[in-house]
Chains A and B, each alone.
Chain A
Amino acid sequence: MTTEARYTRADFQTDQEVRWCPGCGDYTILASVQNFMADLGVDREKIVFVSGIGCAARFPYYMNTYGLHAIHGRAPAIASGLAVARPELSVWVVSGDGDSMSIGGNHLIHALRRNINLKILVFNNQIYGLTKGQYSPTSEMGKRTKSSPAGSIDFPFNPVSLALGAEATFVARTIDMDRTHTTEILKQAYQHRGSAFVEIYQNCNVFNDKAFAALTGKDERDQNRINLVHGEKVLFGPDRERGVIIDGGTARIVDVADAGIDAIHTHDATAPSAGPAYALSRLSHGPFGPTPVGVFRAVDRPVYEETLQQQIHDAQAKRGPGDLAELIASAGTWTVPDHDERELPAHS
């Protein structure tokens, strides 16, 4: 990462009044992203933020880069066109859990499998914030909201599992309040070639307060937060006394004292198979008990727009840059000579 001190956070702030509710986790994420961008030092004009609709999706208005606040769920599709047209740009998608996994689920999975160079940040607050508190595709079953007074009967998505299933080449999870961790994840996402899916647990203090208390609360976080670090054993707990083993494709939490340190899984984000990452993602189906955060997976695969660029390059090398006059004459032509102005026969 380039560390020219050419930008400060202020360079990435806009004159727009930030309109999230006081105390909303979105503020913290915005600060993390602005600081990260200032440190990154990429030309501001080369950065584009594209979003859908939702509280999270207001994000581009507050970033002094190019930005497009689009329509609900469609940001990955729009950003795909942008990134494929102009591979030299740094394109970021900001989305909510409803925006990305409900109305826009189709675009999300296809952008991921194509491995288009998009950095997709999903602010998961497990609720529809902007529409004032309905359950979302990540809300836990039984959740009582305005639209589920008797408790939600929808089984939720596990966003990390979903992204892995969608053939994503980079999948990570972080937490709004942990700005150091968020910054580290943003950095790795930026450096990854291709699409990066980053789930950010984001507190909506108005409609779903403390949804992530198990990972952020003073008393619980040490018990529950499993930090995934590439190349290291998956250990957690106040004294790293607990660990994760993967057995028959399933991840399980054990006491290190019982299982022995050798049995503990060593995290390999670059493993060719998505299996271990998937197993880790299944440790929790929501942030209610021990839950992994960090980079689950980061593998190399050809990047869509680079391959397209290569095809253009190869075609030009082989056939030249293309001559339209030649092309339109390629299906066979005939020539009608100049002729006298004799009247044409009558028409039927």
Chain B
Amino acid sequence: MSEAPTIDNQEAEQVHAVAIRFAGDSGDGMQLAGARFTDASAIFGNDLSTLANFPAEIRAPAGTLPGVSSFQVHIADRDILTPGDQPDVLVAMNPAALKANIADLAPAGIIIVNTDAFDERNLTRAGYATSPIEDGSLDAYRVLKVPMEDLTKRALEGSGVKGRDALRSKNFFAVGLMTWMFQRPLEPTLEWIASKFAKEPDIKAANELAFRAGFNLGETTEMFRHTYRVEPARLPAGTYTNVTGNQALAWGIMAAGQAARLPVFYASYPITPASDILHELARHRNFGVRTFQAEDEIAAAGAALGASFAGHLGVTGTSGPGLALKSETISLALMTELPLLIIDVQRGGPSTGLPTKTEQADLLMAMYGRHGESPLPIVAISTPADAFEAVIEAARIAIKYMTPVILLSDGYIGTSTEPWRLPDLAALPDISVPFAIAPNGPEATFLPYLRDAKTQARPWAVPGTPGLEHRLGGLEKDGTGNVSYAPDNHERMTLLREGKVKGIAADIPDVLVDADEGAEVLVLGWGSSYGAILAGVRRVRAAGKKVARIHLRHLNPFPANLGAVLAGYRRILVPELNRGQLVRMVRSEFLVDAISYPKVQGQPFKAAEIEAKLLEII
């Protein structure tokens, strides 16, 4: 663990948690600034949670509200669950960033403004008639005015990097200043700069100078005498790293391949916010991972299915619009009973919708969005780190039951980060399933649809296996695999496919209920609302109320005990970032009068929202 700098001249206020939002123009490098501060905090040992919020346009017009990009990080000396409902500190690099974020800031919060950007032009672009940092409109906050551009330029004097190029380093100036204010160690950021820009010595030097200048300004300026100290968190013992959901997911796919003893084949067509899974996997050719950037999502699903037929772990990742395109191929996987793992990193829809924002509105598409009677298992990820285990579970089901499985993530999980205790890879479950190698029918024939009595799965015989040549296809078949259009056969096969998926309920854990004794109200959640729901529940409990909580990993089939558990509560609240999808499923499945708590703003739930809603109904 790195040590925080020992600083003796100031008033270091001990705080348990603080949420800081870095906001600027999308060209200002705020995502990077946030990520650097986050990594330093992670290495320092804080628990943390982050939320990235960026525009759909790569570069919206500079200085405008649509061009604002922000990154929020919540650091704490204890375990935290959300990126924080309200930032305590706002770093605003320009007027638009201030305007777009000020409403979220906590009462009496701290604003650090880059005063150089508050000129006529930028004020007008942001829609300010007068400068908010002069006209008293921010009096309710503690405003720290820093001419970051001027100071950055001055710090870089003599470095060879000048003018507009020098201004590019101002994000590191901001990180430096925050590093001072929150007493983060300097090394992680310096090391990062050194390795990232090893091949561009000018840029490396400039960023380093700007970073140190920001830090030094804090150290030497009266205005920044007041600093904050957030001690390392007392997380369970272990070795940690800070991961995004997409990264944990990519690594989980690789782990699933190892656990299944299958080569990984990942086919995808670029789409926000799923592309980073492709990027990450493409880096690891030395693991034997094959990535295939297809011509569209249909081809990506097709190629992954072809690879599955060939005996690989076929995986295809996308977001909502791409899932819609994959639908027909998923049905083919279902009909041919080949394993296929489909990942949907959900975003705000319909259509292109809110491509960079989060939503949970594809659940019913995953459940019902195919032609014909086509049930398949659905698994959901709850947090960035959880992606690792969730994808292994999804792969386990796919290959054990020879079925496509949809794994639901979302933009919030995919792009935000949290500390992840590194798993013991030697203890990965063995999820391998042997390929068929010998005939299973009369007279040494191979019947590709002869089922395992327990799982109802058919055998997986891969091309190259002598004597097991067989044909699969999308046409209805009878029990032997031969095409059959007989009326009662179709009904029998439909029920078999349905029964196979239903039967998985016996092979997944019962839901765990986190309940206060005597609680009459239950919150039922799934996916990325995990943190906000749990934090909301804790607050309700702290207020002396009783409540129970379930968070589902398996959305189809539901865990076997879910119906019985739900029946034990007077009221069931289902918060979802959609217009009420899981709530429909539990209502129709269990005939319970569950209450929907929908939100569709492209933003995750806040703990306070869950708390307020619960207090209203308890």
Contact = CB atoms under 8 A, between A and B. Distances in A.
Contacts of B467: 45
B221 interface: no
B364 interface: no
Contacts of B286: 312, 315-316, 318-322
Nearest to B192: A332
A218 interface: no
B307 A82 contact: yes
Given A316-B286, A345-B78, A84 B303 contact: yes
Interface residues of B, number: 86
Interface string A292-332: 00000000000000001001101110111110110111011
Nearest to B236: A336
A14 B471 CA distance: 10
Given A65-B469, A106-B295, A345-B16, A339 B237 contact: yes
B495 interface: no
Contacts of A82: 306-307, 309-310, 463
A285 interface: no
Contact of A74 (B77, B329, B473, B607): B329
Nearest to A337: B237
Interface stretch (A85-93, A157-165, A202-210, A227-235): A85-93
A43 interface: yes
Given A69-B473, A331-B243, A85 B290 contact: yes
Interface stretch (B50-58, B137-145, B535-543): B535-543
Contacts of B610: none
A84 B45 contact: no
Contact of B240 (A85, A334, A348): A334
Given A14-B471, A84-B292, A110 B299 contact: yes
A86 B44 contact: no
B518 interface: no
A106 B299 contact: yes
B483 A71 contact: no
Interface stretch (B107-115, B250-258, B399-407, B496-504): B250-258
B294 interface: yes
Contact of B463 (A48, A80, A338): A48
Given A86-B464, A336-B235, A107 B469 contact: no
Nearest to A346: B542
Contacts of B468: 45
A131 interface: no
B306 A50 contact: yes
Contacts of A327: 251, 254, 284, 287
A106 B325 CA distance: 14
Interface in B172-199: 188
Contacts of B295: 77, 106-107, 110
Contact of B535 (A16, A45, A347): A347
B4 to A, nearest CB: 13
B284 A61 contact: no
Interface residues of A, number: 68
A81 B235 CA distance: 43
A89 B328 contact: no
A68 interface: yes
Contacts of B263: 85
Given A85-B312, A329-B239, A335 B1 contact: yes
A314 B263 CA distance: 17
Nearest to B244: A331
A318 to B, nearest CB: 7
Given A71-B474, A78-B303, A89-B310, A106 B296 contact: yes
B522 interface: no
Contacts of B234: 336, 339, 342, 344
Contacts of A47: 463
Contacts of B43: 332-334
A329 B241 CA distance: 7
A324 B302 contact: no
A16 B263 CA distance: 34
Interface in B467-489: 467-475, 482-483
Contact of A331 (B241, B309, B535): B241
A333 B292 contact: no
Contacts of A69: 471-475
B332 A85 contact: no
A53 B240 CA distance: 51
B209 interface: no
Given A84-B265, A84-B290, A333 B469 contact: no
A6 interface: no
B591 interface: no
Given A80-B299, A315-B286, A332 B241 contact: yes
A60 B473 contact: yes
B271 to A, nearest CB: 16
A307 B319 CA distance: 29
A148 B209 CA distance: 72
Given A69-B475, A333-B239, A334-B240, A45 B463 contact: yes
Contacts of A325: 422, 425
A48 B462 CA distance: 10
Contacts of B469: 44-45, 64-67
Nearest to B474: A71
Interface string B1-31: 1100000000000001100000000000000
Given A60-B471, A324-B287, A331-B243, A344 B79 contact: yes
A97 B239 CA distance: 58
B238 interface: yes
Given A66-B463, A331-B241, A336 B45 contact: yes
Nearest to A82: B306
A324 B255 contact: yes
B466 interface: yes
Contacts of A314: 285
B237 A70 contact: no
A46 interface: yes
Given A44-B469, A71-B329, A82-B463, A332 B242 contact: yes
A335 B302 contact: no
Contacts of B42: 332, 334
Contacts of B97: none
B302 A78 contact: yes
A70 B473 contact: yes
B298 interface: yes
B409 interface: no
B305 interface: yes
Contact of B482 (A16, A46, A86, A308): A16
B39 interface: yes
Given A45-B467, A50-B306, A84-B292, A68 B473 contact: yes
B465 interface: yes
A335 B238 contact: yes
Contact of B332 (A71, A321, A337, A347): A71
A79 interface: yes
B316 to A, nearest CB: 9
A68 B535 contact: no
B232 to A, nearest CB: 8
A86 B464 CA distance: 9
Given A45-B463, A82-B306, A347 B542 contact: yes
Given A82-B463, A85-B306, A333 B240 contact: yes
Nearest to A65: B469
Contacts of A316: 285-286, 288
22 contacts: A14-B471, A16-B483, A60-B473, A67-B469, A67-B472, A69-B474, A78-B303, A78-B305, A82-B307, A84-B290, A88-B464, A107-B295, A107-B298, A110-B299, A312-B288, A316-B286, A327-B251, A334-B43, A334-B44, A335-B238, A335-B240, A348-B17
Interface of A: 14, 16, 43-48, 50, 53, 60-61, 63-71, 74, 77-86, 88-89, 106-107, 110, 308, 311-312, 314-316, 318-322, 324-325, 327-329, 331-339, 342, 344-348
CB-based closest 8 A-B pairs:
A81-B306, A69-B473, A81-B303, A77-B302, A322-B287, A315-B286, A77-B299, A82-B306
